[in-house]
Amino acid sequence: MSASVPGFSAVIASKIDRSVQLRRSEIQGDVLIGLQKDVEFFIFFRIEDADAFKRVVRDHLADLVTTTEAVRSRELQIAAAKEAGDLERLPFVGFNLGFTHQGLGALVGEGGADGMDPSFMAGAAARAADLNDPAGQDGTLAWKPGFADGGIDGVFLLTGPLDCKDAVHPLLVEKRDDVLALAGGSISIVHEETGRVRPERGHEHFGFRDGISNPGVRGLTPNQNPADGDQGAPGQDLLWPGEFVFGYPVQDPEKPFTEPGDPPGLPQAWMRDGSYMVFRRLKQLVPEFDAFLDERGEALGLDPALLGARMVGRWKSGAPVMIAPLQDEPAIGGAPLLNNDFEFGSDPHQRRCPYAAHIRKTYPRDDLARLIPNGEGVVQTHRIMRAGIPFGPEVTEAEAESGTSAAERGLLFVCYQTSIVEQFEFIQKDWSNAPGFLFDQTRPGSDEAVEPGHDPIIGQASGAREMDEPVPNYPFGSRRSTLAMPNPFVVPDAAAYFFMPSIFALRTALSEPGPATVTASAERKGRAEART
C-alpha cells in the first residue's frame, strides 16, 4: 500500500493552489480537514492545577496532537488503499485539544487573552439568548452540566475507528486512558459526550446526507473541477485559509471571492495557526420530524419525502432540489462531483428550492449577487468549516409508531472559523433565524413582497416558525402555500466556544512556567456574579 502513496500524492499536490503556504504541522488536524472518525470522544474538563497542567501540555500533550499534516498523510494512505482495492479501515487515532476563554486565562494570566473574538470572550452561555436558544421562563438554560454555569475550561477531542465488530476500537480507548492519565489531578472531568457514525454512514439522524457543502481551502484542497480552477470539487469554492485559521489571507467583502484580503492583525501573537471551535449538542427529534412530514405532507398534497427535501434543500440521498426539484436522483446525491454543483441565482423565485430551505439559508451561494454589490464575495465571508458527528441510538420501531422520542439522539455540532461573530453566529442569527432573509424578494410578475420564513431545520424563534412555499411551483405554477412549524425539530442543550491553539503555542506561550494571575475558577466566579 505504501508504495502507491507517493504517486497518488504527487497527483493531488499538482492540483493544489500554491499561492498560499499552510503551516500544516502547526495547525490542529480537525480544523481544516477533520480528524478521521468513526467514533469521537469529547471530554470537557476544568483546570484544577494550572501549573501542573501546563507542564503536562508542554511535556506531553503538545506532542500527542494530531496535526493537519498528519491528517493529510492519513487521507492519502486511505485513498491509496481504496485505489488498491483494500477496503479494511485503517486504525488511525486522533487527538486535539482546545480551551475556553477562561481556560486560556488560567494558562496565560490577566490580559494574556484580551482582544479576542467578543463572543468567544463572553462564552456560549452568554450568547445563547441572542441566538434564540430555548430557555425556561426564568431565562435559565436547560443545558447539560457545566455548560450553562461556565464550568468548562477546555476540551479533549479523541477520534478513532470502529473495530470489526462495530465496537469502539481498543486503540482509541487506550489513547483516551493515556491522555487522562497524563493529565491526572491537574484537571477534573465536567462532562463527556460520545459521537458515532450511523449505520447509514455519512447521513445524520433525520436521514439526510451531511457534510456535502463544506468549503475548500486554498493551499490544501485540490482542484477537481476542470471548468473552474477556483473550486475543489464542482461547486466547492476555494476560500482563503484565514477564514478558518489565523495568520493567513482572508476573504475580502470588497473584492471578488477569488482575490485575497490581507491577514488581519492578531490580538495575541500566539493565536497564529489557531482557530475558534464552536461546539453545540443538538438534539434531533426524529420521530416527531417524520410524523410532521407525514401529517403536513398529506394536508398539502405532497409526498413526505418531497416535503422533507423542500425543507432541507436536498433529498435524503444528497441530491439537491436545485438539480432534482420533484423527485430524488440518488445517483447524483452520492456523487461528490455532482451533488454540490449548483448555484441559487438561476432560481430567483424559489421554484426549485425554497428561500427558507436549510441549505439556502445557511449558504445562499450567489443569491446575494443580484441584491448587493459583490454579493457572492460577501457570502464567502460568512462560511464555516463543519466537523460534527451524530450521537445517540437509531430510532426504534416503538418511537417511529408513536411519533415521540424516547431516547436522545442528534448531532454533536462542531465548526471552525476565525470569527464566531461573523461566521457561526451570523449564519444562525442573520440568516437561519431571520424570517426576512433572503431579503427583498417578490412574487413572479408582481411587486408582492415575500417573507421566506425561518430555516425549518435549525432556525430558532421566540414564537412559532413558518416557511414560505413548501409546495413547489416548478416549473411555472402559482400556488401560494405556507408551512407552520409550531415546534422545533432541533433543540440545543449544550454549547461552548473554544480556541484550538497551534502546536507552537501549546509548547510555548500557553505552557510557560509560573502561576497565572487570573485563575479559571476566579473568572468563573466573576461571571456567575455578573449573571446574578
Q: What are the distances in angstroms from CA 494 to CA 31, 106, 135, 314?
A: 21, 23, 12, 27
Residue type, position 461, single letter: A
Q: Which residues pair with 482 in a beta bridge?
A: 468
C-alpha 148 chain-centroid distance = 21
Annotation marks residue 230 as catalytic:
no
In this structure, how many other beta carbons lie within 10 angstroms of the beta carbon of residue 200?
14
User: Which residue among the candidates 153, 210, 237, 493 is catalytic per the annotation?
Assistant: 210
**Alpha-carbon torsion (434, 435, 439, 440), positive or negative:** negative
- Do 109 and 511 meet the contact criterion of CB atoms below 8 Å apart? no
What is the β-pairing status of strands 187-196 and 216-217? unpaired
The span from the CA of 406 to the CA of 133, in Å, is 22
Q: Spell out the SS3 assignment of 360-375.
A: HHHCCCCHHHHCCCCH
The span from the CA of 32 to the CA of 70, in Å, is 12
The span from the CA of 322 to the CA of 343, in Å, is 8
Q: Cβ neighbours of residue 132 under 8 Å, at least 6 residues apart?
A: 429, 433, 460, 461, 462
Q: Cβ neighbours of residue 323 under 8 Å, at least 6 residues apart?
A: 329, 332, 338, 341, 342
The span from the CA of 432 to the CA of 313, in Å, is 13
Residue with C-alpha cell 416549473? 475
The span from the CA of 188 to the CA of 152, in Å, is 10
Q: Which are the catalytic amino acids?
A: 210
